[in-house]
């Protein structure tokens, strides 16, 4: 089967359930408990004697996923602890042979998924494992250092480990079991490729397709893009700032931990956050794989169930704006929400309900606009073209209703597929947002590496000969405060600061230094720097240029620019 046909169901699904469930669940300290507490293999094996998930109900799990609007389930067949949650002949360390429960939960899940029309998929940790003596321990974590996330307390002699032996004697036989014992499998969801060679990863992909040609393989089988996987799995809980440019998926936790965690500090995301994450991801053309961590008894925590029921209620009304849609045709996200589309229908996901919302750049003639939740609620709109400045604008007068508490969806019927002018235009708020995603990148350095990262920030800007520019339309006169926003990150990572830049806005020149003045510890934190003030004397087409006087690239981070903002001065 061709790749496009193989991926069709996955592209249309947009929303799936991830399940982290294993021997670690009964300890209630997360899926990494064996590693975090350096529990010896022989001690960890003893926990299987008490693993008896008598409250597991496959039908209940699958109905919960289906009612939440999910179309596929990815469950941990084998996580890093090496415990197999299925009937395997490769190792006795499995739920059938090592526990008093003695049943193959995957058989029950496969039957339940088949009855309810969901795709069953298997997570499989193919390189990192703490139970097998040949599984790999060392892996590259950055350009300058290696980490050790394998079992180095039981298996200290790295030179004795042979990953190919592990692949041949463990991975491939178990993958064959997973692909022959449970019917059609939607995805083999690999994790943590570590230092697996591309040829070894491709061998696993070929092995899977030989057994089940329609089964998808995610990108975590290998870090090498030459390996023929089907789609990109982004980092854990990573929501990009731009479309990833390929088929992609975000694995997201519903709470702090992936596996069941009964200790203090496990916070659950709100229904609003979950629904907005789903919409954000789909509006960028991705899939949302939302994880739950059942207890050792086999129960999905009520906190998770409650939130999934709320998401499901929203999806029962608005699923049309999610399933089978494509990401927004507008490069710039509107202030009021997000956009998805399907053929000749745009879906406006309105987060911020107000009297009037607007959108610029849509060239198509609009044929009608109504509430997705009430097709009889026709909505007033108008389209016009500003001939002086040359841009198209649509204004929608929102009805005086009680909007959905999380996201209200409008359907906008247009003449043909979307045709959009991506010219940057001043926001209704008066802010002029010049994002890295809309910058023209001028690669003047001979060995230039500058580009755009998935985060939406400029990456690998190391040479001052490279520069950026934006053409845009200012619709209001007045003074503006100029702010530079760059991507920052945890203090334990070595980011580059001490850059010096020059910004030229309609002939007015400002200079500033990019220094870190925060003590933040969150990944992808944003750092805003006040640059100065400029004046725009008339509504017109404008130009801004950003050039580097000095780039500090010592830590190979460069200048990760996110945006320049022109904010009306108070």
* Blockwise average pLDDT, block size 10, the chain, 570 residues: 89 98 98 97 98 98 98 98 98 98 98 98 97 84 73 89 95 98 98 93 98 97 94 93 88 98 96 98 97 98 98 98 97 95 97 95 97 96 93 95 97 97 93 95 94 90 95 96 86 76 95 77 75 95 96 84 94
Secondary structure (3-state) at 130: coil
Question: Both tokens of residue 30?
Answer: 């997360």
Q: What is the pLDDT of residue 138?
A: 77
* The total number of residues written for the chain in this structure: 570
Q: What is the pLDDT of residue 118?
A: 98
One-letter-per-residue 3-state SS of 27-58: CCECCCHHHHCCCCHHHHHHHHHHCCCCCCCH
Question: CA-CA distance, 562 to 454, in Å (whole number)?
Answer: 11
DSSP character at residue 22: S
Question: CA-CA distance, 295 to 298, in Å (whole number)?
Answer: 5
Q: What is the pLDDT of residue 349?
A: 98
Q: Nearest-CA neighbor of 128 among 174, 191, 197?
A: 191
Torsion of CA 332, 333, 334, 335, to 10 degrees: -120
Q: CA gyration radius for the chain? A: 26
Q: What is the pLDDT of residue 493?
A: 62
pLDDT digits (tens, 9 = 90+) for 199-218: 999 999 999 999 999 999 99
Cα–Cα separations (whole angstroms), residue 83 to 67, 186, 254, 480, 564 = 30, 22, 23, 60, 50
Contact present, 175 and 123 (Cβ < 8 Å)? no
What is the separation, in whole angstroms, between the first and last Cα of the chain? 61
pLDDT digits (tens, 9 = 90+) for 7-22: 999 999 999 999 999 9
Q: Which residues contact 507 (CB under 8 A, 6 or more apart)?
A: none
3-state helix, strand, coil in the chain (%, to 5): 20, 35, 45
Q: What is the pLDDT of residue 182?
A: 98
Question: Both tokens of residue 77?
Answer: 């067949």
Strands 540-550 and 467-474: antiparallel
Question: Both tokens of residue 112?
Answer: 């339940």
Secondary structure (3-state) at 457: coil
Q: Which residues contact 42 (CB under 8 A, 6 or more apart)?
A: none
Strands 286-292 and 248-253: parallel
Instruction: Set out the domains of the chain in order of their start, with CATH numbers.
Output: 3-126+175-321 (3.20.20.80), 337-422 (2.60.40), 432-568 (2.60.120.260)
Q: Nearest-CA neighbor of 551 among 437, 440, 445?
A: 445
Strands 72-78 and 15-19: parallel
Question: CA-CA distance, 284 to 377, in Å (whole number)?
Answer: 28
Question: CA-CA distance, 469 to 506, in Å (whole number)?
Answer: 12
Cα–Cα separations (whole angstroms), residue 181 to 75, 106, 111 = 15, 9, 11
Neighbours of 72 (CB within 10 A): 22
Q: Which residues contact 560 (CB under 8 A, 6 or more apart)?
A: 453, 455, 457, 458, 459, 461, 486, 487, 495
The string of DSSP codes covering 502-519 is EEEETTEEEEEEE-----
Q: What is the pLDDT of residue 136?
A: 80
Q: Up-side HSE of residue 569: CA atoms within 13 Å toward CB?
A: 13
- Please name every residue paired with 347 in a beta bridge, in sequence order, or none if there are none: 340, 411
Q: Helix 58-67 and helix 105-116: axis angle, to 10°?
A: 40
Secondary structure (3-state) at 537: coil
Q: What is the pLDDT of residue 489?
A: 67
Q: Which residues contact 493 (CB under 8 A, 6 or more apart)?
A: none
Question: CA-CA distance, 451 to 436, in Å (whole number)?
Answer: 10
Cα–Cα separations (whole angstroms), residue 502 to 118, 471, 538 = 54, 17, 23
DSSP character at residue 443: -
User: How far is Cα of residue 381 from the mean position of the Cα atoms in its chain?
Assistant: 34
Whether the predicted model's global pTM rises above the 0.95 cut: no
Q: Nearest-CA neighbor of 378 among 403, 353, 397?
A: 397
Question: CA-CA distance, 336 to 358, in Å (whole number)?
Answer: 9
The CA angle 456-225-1, to the nearest 5 degrees, is 110
Cα–Cα separations (whole angstroms), residue 84 to 81, 96, 402, 455 = 9, 9, 49, 35
Q: What is the pLDDT of residue 145?
A: 66
Q: What is the pLDDT of residue 189?
A: 98
Q: What is the pLDDT of residue 491?
A: 57
Q: What is the pLDDT of residue 524?
A: 62
Cα–Cα separations (whole angstroms), residue 276 to 205, 305, 331, 349, 352 = 34, 18, 18, 9, 12
């Amino acid at each position: 089967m061709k790749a496009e046909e193989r991926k069709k169901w996955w592209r249309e699904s947009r929303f799936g359930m991830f399940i982290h469930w294993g021997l670690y669940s009964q300890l209630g300290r997360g899926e990494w408990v064996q590693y975090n507490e350096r529990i010896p293999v022989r001690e960890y094996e003893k926990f299987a004697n008490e693993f008896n998930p008598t409250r597991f109900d496959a039908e209940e799990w699958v109905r919960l996923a289906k009612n939440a609007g999910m179309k596929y389930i990815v469950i941990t067949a084998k996580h890093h602890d090496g415990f197999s949650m299925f009937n395997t002949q490769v190792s006795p360390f499995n739920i059938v042979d090592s526990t008093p429960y003695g049943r193959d939960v995957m058989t029950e899940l496969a039957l339940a998924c088949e009855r309810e029309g969901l795709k069953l998929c298997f997570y499989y940790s193919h390189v990192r494992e703490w139970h097998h003596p040949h599984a790999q321990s060392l892996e590259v974590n950055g350009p300058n250092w290696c980490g050790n996330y394998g079992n180095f307390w039981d298996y200290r002699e790295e030179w004795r480990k042979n990953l190919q032996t592990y692949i041949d004697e463990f991975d491939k036989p178990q993958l064959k079991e997973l692909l022959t014992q449970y019917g059609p499998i939607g995805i083999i969801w690999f994790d943590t490729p570590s230092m697996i060679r591309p040829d070894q990863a491709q061998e696993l992909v070929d092995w899977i397709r030989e057994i089940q040609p329609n089964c998808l393989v995610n990108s975590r089988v290998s870090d090498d893009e030459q390996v023929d996987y089907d789609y990109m799995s982004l980092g854990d809980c990573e929501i990009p700032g731009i479309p990833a440019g390929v088929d992609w998926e975000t694995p997201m936790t519903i709470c702090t931990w992936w596996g069941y965690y009964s200790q203090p500090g496990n916070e659950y995301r709100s229904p609003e956050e979950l629904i907005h994450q789903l919409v954000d991801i789909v509006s960028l053309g991705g899939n949302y794989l939302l994880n739950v961590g059942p207890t050792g008894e086999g129960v999905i925590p009520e906190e998770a169930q409650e939130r999934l029921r709320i998401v499901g209620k929203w999806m029962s009304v608005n699923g049309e704006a999610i399933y089978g849609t494509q990401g927004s045709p507008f490069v710039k996200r509107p202030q009021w929400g997000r956009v998805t589309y399907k053929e000749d229908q745009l879906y406006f996901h309105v987060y911020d309900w107000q009297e009037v919302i607007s959108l610029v750049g849509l060239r198509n003639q609009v044929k009608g606009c109504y509430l997705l939740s009430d097709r009889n609620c026709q909505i007033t709109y108008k389209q016009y073209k500003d001939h002086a400045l040359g841009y198209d604008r649509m204004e929608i007068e929102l009805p005086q209703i009680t909007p959905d508490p999380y996201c209200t969806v409008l359907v906008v019927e247009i003449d043909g597929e979307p045709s959009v002018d991506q010219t940057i235009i001043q926001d209704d708020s008066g802010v002029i947002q010049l994002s890295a995603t809309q910058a023209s990148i001028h690669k003047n350095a001979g060995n230039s590496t500058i580009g755009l990262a998935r985060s939406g920030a400029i990456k690998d800007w190391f040479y001052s000969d490279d520069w950026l520019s934006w053409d845009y339309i200012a619709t209001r006169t007045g003074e503006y405060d100029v702010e530079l926003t760059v991507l920052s990150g945890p203090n334990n990572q070595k980011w580059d600061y001490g850059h010096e830049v020059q910004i030229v806005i309609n002939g007015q020149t400002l200079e500033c230094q990019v220094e870190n003045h925060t003590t933040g510890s969150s990944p992808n934190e944003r750092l805003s720097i006040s640059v100065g003030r400029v004046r725009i004397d008339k509504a017109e087409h404008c130009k801004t240029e950003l050039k580097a006087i000095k780039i500090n690239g010592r830590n190979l981070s460069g200048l990760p620019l996110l945006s320049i903002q022109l904010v009306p001065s108070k």
